Structure 1
């Protein structure tokens, strides 16, 4: 993949992460979403762009499947520690847009 592909993949991840920060989910839902964020962080730290792209797609599925539907069990925004991790990852990825 060339650098424009890498920049596009990172931009997609940033967009997804920004949407994730606005989600409301149950505690169990956030636990599942967090596993997707963990995979994304690990791939980013390893510098593995293919794995990063796959983790982004998986997180998108997890987040879509576990966001709370209106009127269902009490849903909450992301727990503060997870929000901090996501914000840090967004900042890191935006700094890599080259």
Structure 2
């Protein structure tokens, strides 16, 4: 039994393979960190664009018309107040 344990301790056949796997795994993890940080930045930029699009929706348009026996008048007006944080690049 001790001969088997000594043989396993002295065996270096898998050392190169495990060192290569550690190197490849380290490079893969670094690549994933950089890639995910770029994905995060781009998702935040797209969500900011969506928020700016929602902020630019106009809700102040009104159509009022009058009608009587011999005539009618169509009227409309638009009133839009500036929103708080209505700039295009407010979310930083």
TM-score by length of 1: 0.29
Q: Which has the larger share of strand?
A: 2
- Higher normalized contact order (CA 8 Å, seq sep 6+, divided by chain length): 1
Q: Which has the larger share of helix?
A: 1
TM-score by length of 2: 0.30
Structure number with bigger Rg: 2
